[in-house]
Chains A and B, each alone.
Chain A
Amino acid sequence: MGQDKLMLWVICIFAALTAVPLVAILGEVLLRGWDQLSWEFFTEPTPTAYRAMKAIEAGERIPGGIANGIVGTMLMLGMAVAVAVPVGILCGAFLAENGKSRFAQVVSYLTDLLQGTPSVIIGIITYIWVVVPMKGYSAIAGSVALCIMMLPLIVRSTEETLKILPASLKEAGLALGANSARVMLKVQLPAAFGGIFTGVLLAISRVIGETAPLMFTALGCSLVRWSVDKPISAVPLLIWEFFNDPNLQELIWGASLFLLLFVLTLNLTAKYLAKKWNQ
């Protein structure tokens, strides 16, 4: 009996310990970042190291914020979503409809392969594919990298959601004389909307914090920019910049707090919606 109790306690204690890093990280980012959040932090671009140094010397708050990163992240994410969502859904539909064929199995394996590929390698690839031919870093290159990373996630969630729909749904549509395109568009996809939407939200939350693939593709830029063929910043890239520049280190925490809250909210929303739509 003693052994039984001991095991239960060990499991409870160690399981509870895994919450410690979450609380510690959230707490630290919140405590150190909260003071930095202000209206200017979201509307002003990053200050130069010189201006930041002057402000530190004068004992003032570092001017500026992360507007350039927010705009860059949104722009690149928007372009990536615009391509990855339709392609991912169609590819997922292909896998769900032809699951048994040889080719579909190959595609399925390759989806796993791409999903497991380290993000830094996606960065190298996009550098070779996009940055070299375009002769420069650009928002397009960054969005290609994000798109490649999102694609397998959306394919998988679409495939899995379509596969768990009852077969009778599709058969009823076909029996009414609709062709499979119409059944997919009007019956299966609407029925699977919840699962697919959650999948897209999770895919976004997965790539929005990615830094490594953007370092060799979007590069970063201290101006607020809307052009797609020039270097551009992103919030995680800014955190990396602040981390490496002693003058800007104070800005790390505000930017991290913004990124963390954004990602975790997206995550929780997706989980909540998934639960709600499953009932």
Chain B
Amino acid sequence: MNDKVYKALLLLTALFMPVICGGVVYALVTDAYDAFEHFGFFRFLTSSEWSYTQGAEKYGALPFITGTLMTTLLALIFCIPFSLPVALFVGEYFKGTRLAAVLGTVTDLLAGIPSIIYGLWGFYTLRPIIMALDISPQGSGVLTASLVLAIMIVPYAASLSAEFIKMVPNDLKEGAYSLGATRAEVVKSVIFPVAGSGIFSSYVLAIGRALGETMTVTMLIGNTNNIPDSITSTGNSMASIIANQFGEADDLRLSSLIAIGLVLFMITAVINMAGKMMIKRARI
């Protein structure tokens, strides 16, 4: 193959990325335009009404933005007590051992389970438990969705954090040990300060995953179009309202759903880019 043809071919395929991403933004913006024009950008984001009565249609994204933020935040809180020990187990305490490899495989497999199966498990196993414990009468809701979301993001946060924990230089740790520090002290005063920014960035990326998770949340959050007033009440996230209503929507409702998609796209894009930038900085 001619060198010039080859270079041109590579360049041409590389153009796919800008074209797709540009197309995503263009399509979302043009199709969301109707909703923003009709309700006003700011009012669309701050209105909590969602009614599709003919002639008196009113759509606002606030309940779903709240739902997404609540599920994501709760998932993050539930995820930390498990992902941090896993990261320390794999990256420090049992680094390079068979046990660490086994735990690594477990988290890899957890990451591989399709979200619809997480949703089924949450619905048929976790929901009855929540009902039996009398936490909420209907079982589904923000809490149930967040618990399963937390399990889903543990692998992402743990494997990335473990990488940063592994990278902590040995001489730093040995220095601390030689001064008489115990292992717990080394973790607290050497590993966390050195790998801290990397660990933090891995949680930012985990948030990025949780924000857009669709099927699990759709099956577990209860699908009501209100602002959840407590963590046990039902609601809808941005992704779940789209999954629920996109197929049956038209005109203004469709545009409103696409507008919600645009907002979700922007939020995840910002979070993911921030996470990637932090990772790059933490690696240097």
Contacts and interface: CB of A to CB of B under 8 A. Distances in A.
Interface of A: 1, 3-4, 6-8, 10-15, 17-19, 21-22, 24-25, 28-29, 87, 90-91, 93-95, 97-98, 103-104, 106-107, 109-114, 116-121, 123-125, 127-129, 148, 151, 155, 179-182, 184-185, 205-206, 208-212, 215-216, 219, 236, 239-240, 243, 252, 256, 259-260, 263-264, 267-268, 271
Interface stretch (B51-59, B135-143, B210-218): B210-218
B77 interface: no
Interface string B48-79: 00000000000000000000000000000000
A120 B242 contact: yes
Contacts of A87: 13, 16
A110 B184 contact: no
7 contacts: A22-B109, A110-B21, A112-B273, A116-B268, A219-B247, A256-B120, A260-B117
A15 B85 contact: yes
Interface string B93-130: 10000000001011111101111111111011100000
B184 A215 contact: no
B116 A236 contact: yes
B85 A11 contact: yes
Contact of A179 (B3, B24, B187, B211): B3
Interface stretch (B4-12, B36-44, B194-202, B226-234): B4-12
Which interface class (under 10, 10 to 19, 20 to 34, 35 or more) fits B?
35 or more
Contact of A267 (B27, B103, B108, B119): B108
Contacts of B18: 106-107, 110
A236 B219 CA distance: 14
Nearest to B83: A18
Given A11-B93, A124-B258, A252-B120, A215 B272 contact: no
A29 B117 contact: yes
Nearest to A12: B89
B284 interface: no
Given A120-B242, A212-B214, A151 B16 contact: yes
Contacts of A124: 27-28, 242, 246, 257-258, 261
Interface of B: 1-3, 5-7, 9-11, 13-14, 16-18, 20-21, 23-24, 27-28, 31, 81-83, 85-86, 88-89, 93, 103, 105-110, 112-121, 123-125, 151, 154, 158, 182-184, 187, 208, 211-215, 219, 239, 242-243, 246-247, 257-258, 261, 264-265, 268-269, 271-273, 276
A182 B108 CA distance: 37
A116 B17 CA distance: 13
Q: What 9 pairs between A and B have smallest CB-CB spacing?
A: A118-B212, A209-B114, A181-B6, A116-B272, A14-B85, A90-B13, A94-B10, A212-B214, A15-B89
A112 B117 contact: no
A267 B109 contact: yes
Nearest to A267: B112
A216 B121 CA distance: 24
B60 to A, nearest CB: 19
Contact of A107 (B2, B7, B17): B17
A10 B84 CA distance: 11
A211 B243 CA distance: 10
A17 B84 CA distance: 12
Contacts of A205: 112
Contacts of A121: 24, 28, 212, 261, 264-265
A28 B124 contact: yes
Contacts of A215: 243, 246-247
B2 A181 contact: yes
B85 A94 contact: no
Nearest to A112: B276
A28 B93 CA distance: 32
Contact of A8 (B14, B93, B109, B268): B93
Contacts of A208: 114
B28 A125 contact: yes
A181 B21 contact: no
